[in-house]
């Protein structure tokens, strides 16, 4: 077990020149982008219904009725898709002692002195917080969403509860858009990260600089593969 604390079994070092490291298998990347596309459709259809000035967005879905019908379906499918991603990644997103030290030295990171921070596994604290934020917000949205899905569940809760559910649903939606903006911004800000989710690989330098504990573990495992 200690053999795979910071990495997935498919992670590996590829002996190209320069060296690359496999960070995501194809099925994880497909799962990620499928979830991302659904969440974007979810946001567009949700905001179209949320604010009258954005009602024009319903045009993307063929009108208000279609947007109203499709929005909860996008939501359920997005949650199921995220669940698959969650099952693959939750262990690597558990909090660890080094995350606390990392957070206490965040000013060094912002000043460009990442070498002063502790070595990290596959994810840093920021990524972990985004991950758990997405998880809890999606859970909140699917639970409150079922309560306000009158077409299929008209008698699930009383009218006062439904009103509260609508408020909770809207707040969670706005928060989740903020979390996704942070996620995309961080992916762009940390140069070399996007390729992890497109080609599946990062450079050896990227892995050494940002996730050294992860890289060390992948290298150790590759040096001594488990006995057949
Ligand atoms: C639409 C624009 C998006 C872009 C450009 C993007 C980009 C990325 C990139 C580059 C990574 C790899 C980060 C790394 O391995 O260090 C990643 C990871 C991930 N993304 Fe996205 N993403 C997007 C949307 C989403 C959405 C909408 C969700 C789900 C609600 C999502 C969930 C995740 C998760 C769970 C991970 C794994 C990170 C972790 O487990 O902490 N992404 N994304």
Q: What is the pLDDT of residues 65-114, one digit of tens each?
A: 999 999 999 999 999 999 999 999 999 999 999 999 999 999 999 998 99
Residue 46 belongs to a domain:
yes
The pTM score is 0.94
For a pocket test of ligand 1, which of 36, 84, 200 has the largest count of ligand atoms closer than 8 A to its C-beta?
36
* Cis upstream peptide for 18 (omega within 30°): yes
Residue 86 belongs to a domain:
yes
Report percent pLDDT > 70 for the chain: 97
Classify the C-alpha dihedral 147-81-132-43 as positive or negative: negative
**Domain region containing 61:** 25-92
Give the pLDDT band of residue 1 (cuts 50, 70, 90).
very low
Classify the C-alpha dihedral 120-121-125-126 as positive or negative: positive
Ligand 1 proximity of 85 Cβ (cutoff 6 Å): yes
User: Distance between CA 195 and CA 26 in Å, rounded?
Assistant: 12
For ligand 1, atom 25: residue with the closest CA: 36
**Alpha carbon of 35 to ligand 1 centroid (Å):** 9
Residue 204 belongs to a domain:
no
How many independent structural domains does the chain possess?
Answer: 1
Residue 31 belongs to a domain:
yes
Residue 135 belongs to a domain:
no
HSE of 140 in the Cβ direction (CA atoms, 13 Å)?
19
Residue 190 belongs to a domain:
no
User: Do residues 197 and 27 make contact, with C-beta atoms less than 8 angstroms apart?
Assistant: no
Q: Phi/psi at 166 (nearest 5 deg)? A: -65, -40
């Amino acid at each position: 077990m200690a053999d795979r604390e910071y990495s997935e079994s498919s992670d590996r070092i590829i002996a190209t020149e320069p060296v690359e490291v496999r960070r995501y298998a194809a099925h994880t990347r497909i799962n990620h982008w499928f979830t991302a596309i659904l969440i974007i459709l979810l946001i567009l259809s949700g905001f179209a219904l949320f604010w009258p000035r954005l009602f024009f967005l319903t045009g993307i879905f063929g009108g208000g009725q279609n947007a109203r019908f499709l929005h909860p379906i996008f939501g359920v499918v997005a949650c199921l898709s995220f669940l698959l991603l969650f099952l693959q990644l939750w262990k690597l997103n558990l909090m660890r002692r080094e995350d606390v030290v990392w957070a206490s030295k965040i000013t060094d990171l912002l000043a460009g002195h990442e070498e002063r921070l502790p070595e990290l596994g596959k994810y840093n604290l920021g990524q972990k917080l985004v991950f758990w934020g997405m998880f809890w917000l999606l859970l909140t949205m699917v639970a409150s969403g079922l309560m306000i899905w009158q077409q299929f569940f008209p008698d699930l809760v009383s009218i006062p509860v439904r009103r509260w559910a609508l408020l909770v649903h809207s707040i969670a939606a706005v928060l989740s858009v903020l979390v996704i903006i942070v996620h995309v911004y961080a992916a762009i800000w940390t140069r070399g990260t996007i390729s992890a989710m497109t080609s599946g690989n990062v450079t050896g330098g990227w892995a050494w600089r940002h996730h050294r504990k992860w890289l060390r573990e992948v290298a150790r495992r590759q040096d001594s593969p488990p006995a057949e």
